[in-house]
Structure 1
Amino acid sequence: MNQNKRYFLPAMAALALTLALAPIVSSAQDPDTRTTAVRSAPGPGPRYWSDNWRGWHFYEEPEPSDETDPPRKRQPSSVPAAPAQRRAPELVQFEALQKTLEQYRNIAIIKPTEANVRRYMELESKIVAQASHFADVAQRVAWATPELDPTLQGRPVNAKAIEVFEQDQLTTRSAAMAALGKDHVLFFFFRGDCPFCHAFAPTLEAFQARYGINVVAISVDGGPMPGFPNARADNGIARTLKVTQVPAVFLAQPYSGKISPIGFGVLSESQLLERISTVAAPATQEMAPGTNKHIVLR
């Protein structure tokens, strides 16, 4: 019995050592297991076998993940969308009529059969009749509303009214021209060899006598002009004003140096009066300030 016990105890110790070393040997021999153990081991931190204070049963919080949180879905707005404005039924009907007429016309052009052309012409006739009815109603509205009547705005269309209108315009412009002649002059650019200048000179001479505004004749080529014996030779003012065509008339205010073009070519007395009155009006100068030039007059 003692002899058996002597052999039994060493055998039991050897068996216990074998069982204890078996997992370590197995993991060392199995490459897959070794790889898994290496991968699962922490990086530069201490190994588990060196931290004997942890023991075999411990728990640690997982390391934070590098992945960012997925973007949150945008919540739909709780504010309801504004309802679309309802269009007038007349507009819908008008657009449908336009589209139908265009389709009928295009079909008739591509395939001009008698039926297609008749269908287009019938619809077009209905539209023309509707437009004529609109014109009649608009005319009656204008008759009943003076501020909407085009015949009462600006120049009248009636022959008798035109006569009265022109007489009133002449009186008003004549008074304005008399006041304008106190501090304004007319520059008349001409050439001695220009037949149009010679034809226009008597009109300017009569205009000067009628309205009392002085006309200063300027010879571009140095030639004379009948009716203006005191004509001046051009001293460069024609080039400054870019006078490339004669006869030419400019309205000038000597004390301010402001000069405005009136016209080129042969003009009548009424045209001169109308243009000068229009150019001299303050409203016209505000609308077209670029037509005025300022130069030093000698």
Structure 2
Amino acid sequence: MTRPTLIGVCLALAASCCAAQVPDSGELPDGERAGLPDPRTGWHFHLDPPAPPRKVVPRLPSAGDGEQAALARFRQLQKEVEERRALAVIQPTEPNVRRYMELEAKVVHNASRFADVAQRIAWSHPELDPATQGRPVNATALEVFEQARIRERNAVLAQVAREHVLMFFFRGDCGYCHAMAPVLRAFCDRHGMRLVPISVDGGALAGFPQARSDNGAVRALKVQQVPALFLAQPFSGRIEPVGFGVLSEAQLGERIVALFEGRDGKGTPPPVYWGDQR
């Protein structure tokens, strides 16, 4: 027998042995079922090793889970209250109304507990206490607050008086202008502010014998109602309206201070400059 023939016989015997060892029933060998390569593939194929099994790490509960659950409960409670109220209104039977009132009582109880906790927090955290912010409600504290505001307002008015004048537009036949005149005179004397009275119709006003006649200011400032009061800064020509109609001394002071402190701020009306005819 030649050498090639001998090699062929060996290969044939090896194939018959493999065929005898591997069942033909269509079932996978035990090795493949266990994740091992099929021996029928032989040594001609490269197989990757089987992937290790994935480890499932249990998820630990977090603080956010409790918050989400609470929010979900709140939304559910809102829905339940609305549904029970609607049912009680549409069908006001005793059981329906009673169920709604029972749920409402629970809600009111929780709200009362919330108010109690919020109050205790406010007592220990003054930055969260409304009673310590802005205008106080206690009578004693309110008196101290008002005195401090008066001192601050007088200081600002003294500063305003150094650079500003008040322009007072009136008519001789206007009863409101006659009522406003003594109030305005007392205010200017108290705070040392210069007053420039301007007669719109050429008439006179008691207490203002040196009143000026209109020289175009009425048109420039668009004065359509008297008494009218404007705050003017002579060296800059800036003029801002203070108010129209009869005002008290307290109102005059508050408005002038607000104009001065809020100058060029948001929401402040744009000033009019003398000579601006737009």
Residue from 115, 126, 134 that aligns with 2:114? 134
Number of aligned residue pairs? 212
What's the counterpart of residue 76 of structure 2?
96
Percent of paired sites with the same residue: 56
CA deviation vs aligned residue, 1:61-100 (integer Å, no higher than 9, x gap): xxxxxxxxxxxxxxxxxxxxxxxx9661111111111111
Residue from 223, 240, 243 that aligns with 2:223? 243
Q: 1:123 and 1:244 mapped to 2: Cα distance?
A: 60
The answer to whether 1:290 aligns with 2:269 is yes
Task: Check 1:112–1:236 CA distance in 2 against 1; reply closer, same or farther (3 A cut).
Answer: farther
The answer to whether 1:177 aligns with 2:157 is yes
Q: How does 1:249-260 map to 2 (within 5 A)?
A: 249-260=229-240
- What TM-score do you get using the length of structure 2 for normalisation? 0.71
CA deviation vs aligned residue, 1:224-273 (integer Å, no higher than 9, x gap): 11111122222332233232322222111111111222222221111211
Q: 1:220 and 1:278 mapped to 2: Cα distance?
A: 27
Q: 2:207 and 2:126 mapped to 1: Cα distance?
A: 50
CA deviation vs aligned residue, 1:37-56 (integer Å, no higher than 9, x gap): xxxxxxxxxxxxxxxxxxxx
Task: Check 1:247–1:159 CA distance in 2 against 1; reply closer, same or farther (3 A cut).
Answer: same
Q: 1:101 and 1:113 mapped to 2: Cα distance?
A: 16
The secondary structure found in structure 1 opposite 2:269 is helix
What's the counterpart of residue 147 of structure 2?
167
What's the counterpart of residue 97 of structure 2?
117
The secondary structure found in structure 2 opposite 1:251 is strand
Q: 1:91 and 1:103 mapped to 2: Cα distance?
A: 18
The secondary structure found in structure 2 opposite 1:107 is helix
Task: Check 1:290–1:270 CA distance in 2 against 1; reply closer, same or farther (3 A cut).
Answer: closer
The answer to whether 1:157 aligns with 2:157 is no
- What TM-score do you get using the length of structure 1 for normalisation? 0.66
The secondary structure found in structure 2 opposite 1:94 is helix
Q: Is the Cα contact below 8 Å between 1:187 and 1:216 reproduced in 2?
A: yes
Task: Check 1:104–1:208 CA distance in 2 against 1; reply closer, same or farther (3 A cut).
Answer: same
The answer to whether 1:217 aligns with 2:197 is yes
- Give 1:284 shift: 4.7
The secondary structure found in structure 1 opposite 2:202 is coil
What's the counterpart of residue 249 of structure 2?
269
What's the counterpart of residue 226 of structure 1?
206
Q: Is the Cα contact below 8 Å between 1:279 and 1:285 reproduced in 2?
A: no
The secondary structure found in structure 2 opposite 1:98 is helix
Unaligned stretches of 5+ residues in structure 1:
1-84
Match of 2:148, as an amino acid?
Answer: D
Q: 2:110 and 2:145 mapped to 1: Cα distance?
A: 36
Unaligned stretches of 5+ residues in structure 2:
1-63
Q: 2:121 and 2:191 mapped to 1: Cα distance?
A: 44
- Structure whose alpha-carbon radius of gyration is higher: 1
Q: Which runs of 4+ in 1 moved over 6 A?
A: none
